């Protein structure tokens, strides 16, 4: 694998020249306490099902004093509550669409029946309701939910539709990791956003924004700019989601605080991996544990640098003068087999291209067609998919997201993936010229699922395809 830092530097510099860097909106409100999305209360249980209700609604938010922005939220004005469930729970998620346009609610990273996925085939028209019913059939992980209708996902996510979906299980209960939600276990959705000079949230993509990324001039952390968090534990866990539309984010601490990655998109790593930074593409998650011993009374910051060229303070920590003792980080988190291709019945190639005819964004030369099934796979089998990113003429990063399952990375550019990418993944970043091989097991559910680039402007432009799991 290429050295991430070098690749990253080349990217950021390359882009600064070609992109209009806007003057950061001066009047944005900063320095409020970090808002922690509330845990969604069950509306009740019917039989053996836990019932949850989400209402998709319009709202407004004052990001700058005196200026209202139009926003969207789940059960609120911007973002949504955290859905927190346990493995083997039967859930029934009821969605009411109070917008004047269609939407869907997709449970990103969840292993579930196709009809519960919330992709473009599960459209919820304006004013309508929809229900997803499924059993939580996967290990503890930090997933998320967001809209996924054809052509409108980017704008709806941008305006605020996103929430966490956290799964716990007996194994995660037993691990000595920080797990007090909102105190030492903190969900953080980072979203690069563009504000007008008067501080209004704006979504007005032009061709370069669609192709290269809808970069911004501010970073929202759980919906606010540069919030702070008071911490009084020796170790804290950050569940970080890159909720940007198309910006890659390099996340790091401004001081030498030891940082360990403990989980990828869909579950724990085999063991904690000490990292100096994590690079997350849109839709990817990482769980980090920070060791704050020796930082008593200081104010270190979590930083995020976008490949659009701006560096932001994502969160400032106010570390208490005395810290409560945290348990030692476990040496082993989970038993995780090294993926191999020995059981694979088939290999497939997926070429992400931004060249093609007229600079179109395609996968294997095609754009998304809801009535076309691109790939058929067989239930109960294992396959290796080789994804490569071409288009050096219009070089841009892409990523590859698969619905309905978690995969493992077999090889990146011919080598074993770096230790921090050896956990369950549902989204993987590709720089131009990269090739990534992933191992997928098609278990439990038949039906039609999507794969796509999760840079939302690319997805909306049709950089997406469908695979059907056949019995
Ligand atoms: Cu996060 Cu197809 O989605
Ligand atoms: Cu998804
Ligand atoms: Cu893309």
Residues 275 and 167 in one domain: no
Cβ contacts of 253 within 8 Å, gap of 6 or more: 259, 290, 300, 301, 302, 303
* Cα-Cα end-to-end distance for the chain: 37
Structural domain contains residue 36: no
Residues 377 and 320 in one domain: no
CATH number of the domain within which 194 lies: 2.60.40.420
Quote the ligand 1 centre to 332 CA distance (angstroms).
Answer: 30
Structural domain contains residue 32: no
Answer with the one of 114, 142, 173 that is the final residue of a domain. 173
Which residues hold their Cβ within 5 A of ligand 3, which is an ion? 398, 453, 455, 458
Residues 188 and 319 in one domain: yes
Residues 260 and 272 in one domain: yes
Quote the ligand 2 centre to 438 CA distance (angstroms).
Answer: 16
147: domain range? 44-173
Residues 214 and 286 in one domain: yes
Structural domain contains residue 38: no
> Which pLDDT does position 390 carry in this prediction?
86
> Which pLDDT does position 18 carry in this prediction?
38
Burial 62-100 (b: 16+ CB within 10 A, else e): ebbeebebebbbbbbbbbbbbbbbbbebbbbbebbbebe
> Which pLDDT does position 208 carry in this prediction?
87
Residues 161 and 262 in one domain: no
Residues 111 and 84 in one domain: yes
Instruction: Encode the chain (471 residues) as per-residue pLDDT tens digits.
Output: 444 555 665 556 444 433 433 445 568 999 999 999 999 999 988 788 999 999 999 999 999 999 999 999 999 999 999 999 999 999 999 999 999 999 999 999 999 999 999 999 999 999 999 999 999 999 999 999 999 999 999 999 999 999 999 999 999 999 999 999 999 999 999 999 999 999 999 999 998 899 888 999 999 999 999 999 999 999 999 999 999 999 999 999 999 899 999 999 999 999 999 999 999 999 999 999 999 999 999 999 999 999 999 999 999 999 999 999 999 999 999 999 999 999 999 999 999 998 655 678 999 999 999 999 999 999 999 999 999 998 666 678 999 999 999 999 999 999 999 999 999 999 999 999 999 999 999 999 999 999 999 999 999 999 999 999 999
Residues 187 and 319 in one domain: yes
The answer to whether residues 316 and 299 touch, using CB atoms and an 8 Å cutoff, is yes
83, 132, 218, 363, 438 from 466: Cα distances, Å: 27, 20, 34, 11, 17
Answer with the one of 125, 143, 173 that is the final residue of a domain. 173
Q: Which residues have CB under 6 Å of ligand 1? A: 106, 108, 146, 148, 283, 401, 403, 450, 452, 454
Structural domain contains residue 56: yes
Ligand lying closest to the C-alpha of residue 211: 3
Structural domain contains residue 33: no
Structural domain contains residue 335: no
| CA–CA separation, 266 and 261 (whole Å) | 13
Number of domains in the chain: 3
Quote the ligand 1 centre to 254 CA distance (angstroms).
Answer: 31
Quote the ligand 1 centre to 241 CA distance (angstroms).
Answer: 13
> Which pLDDT does position 312 carry in this prediction?
97
Ligand lying closest to the C-alpha of residue 451: 1
Q: Is 366 helix (H, G, I), strand (E, B) or coil?
A: strand
Quote the ligand 2 centre to 259 CA distance (angstroms).
Answer: 28
> Which pLDDT does position 19 carry in this prediction?
40
Which atom of ligand 1 lies closest to the CA of 452? Answer: 2
Structural domain contains residue 420: yes
> Which pLDDT does position 26 carry in this prediction?
65
pTM of the model: 0.96
Answer with the one of 173, 194, 223 that is the final residue of a domain. 173
Structural domain contains residue 123: yes
Report the nearest-CA residue for atom 3 of ligand 1: 108
Which residues hold their Cβ within 5 A of ligand 2, which is an ion? 108, 403
């Amino acid at each position: 694998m290429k050295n991430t830092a070098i690749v990253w530097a080349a990217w950021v510099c390359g882009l600064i020249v070609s992109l209009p860097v806007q003057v950061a909106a001066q009047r944005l409100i900063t320095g409020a306490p970090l808002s922690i999305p509330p845990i969604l209360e069950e509306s009740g249980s019917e039989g053996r099902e836990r019932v949850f209700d989400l209402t998709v609604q319009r709202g407004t938010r004052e990001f700058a004093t005196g200026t209202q922005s139009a926003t969207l939220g789940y059960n609120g004005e911007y973002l949504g509550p955290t859905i927190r469930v346990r493995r083997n729970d039967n859930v029934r998620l009821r969605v009411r669409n109070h917008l004047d346009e269609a939407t869907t609610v997709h449970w990103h990273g969840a292993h579930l029946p196709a009809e519960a996925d919330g992709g473009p085939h599960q459209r919820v028209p304006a004013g309508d309701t929809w229900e997803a019913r499924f059993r939580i059939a996967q290990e503890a992980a930090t997933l998320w939910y967001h809209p996924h209708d054809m052509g409108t996902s980017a704008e709806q996510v941008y305006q605020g539709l996103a929430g966490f979906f956290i799964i716990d299980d007996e194994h995660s209960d037993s691990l000595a990791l920080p797990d007090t939600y909102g105190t030492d276990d903190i969900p953080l959705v980072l979203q690069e956003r563009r504000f007008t000079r008067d501080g209004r949230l704006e979504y007005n993509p032009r061709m370069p924004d669609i192709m290269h990324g809808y970069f911004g001039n501010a970073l929202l952390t759980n919906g606010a700019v540069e919030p702070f968090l008071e911490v009084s534990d020796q170790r804290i866990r950050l569940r970080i989601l890159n909720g940007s539309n198309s910006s890659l984010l390099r996340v790091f601490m401004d001081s030498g605080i030891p940082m360990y990655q403990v989980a990828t998109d869909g579950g724990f790593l085999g063991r904690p991996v000490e990292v100096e930074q994590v690079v997350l593409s849109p839709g990817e998650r990482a769980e980090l544990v920070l060791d704050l011993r020796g930082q008593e009374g200081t104010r270190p910051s979590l930083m995020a640098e976008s490949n659009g060229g701006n560096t932001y303070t994502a969160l400032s920590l106010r570390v208490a003068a005395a810290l409560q003792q945290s348990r030692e980080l476990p040496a082993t988190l989970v038993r995780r087999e090294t993926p191999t291709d020995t059981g694979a019945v088939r290999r497939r190639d997926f070429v992400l291209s931004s060249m093609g005819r007229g600079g179109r964004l395609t996968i294997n030369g095609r754009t998304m067609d809801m009535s076309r099934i691109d790939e058929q796979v067989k239930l109960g089998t294992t396959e290796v998919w080789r994804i490569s990113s071409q288009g050096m003429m219009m070089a841009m990063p892409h990523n590859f997201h698969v619905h309905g399952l978690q995969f493992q990375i077999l090889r990146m550019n011919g080598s074993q993936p770096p230790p921090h990418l050896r956990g369950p993944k549902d989204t993987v970043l590709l720089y131009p010229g990269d090739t990534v091989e992933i191992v997928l097991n098609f278990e439990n559910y038949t039906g039609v699922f999507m794969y796509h680039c999760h840079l939302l402007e690319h997805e909306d432009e049709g950089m997406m395809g469908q695979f059907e799991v056949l019995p």
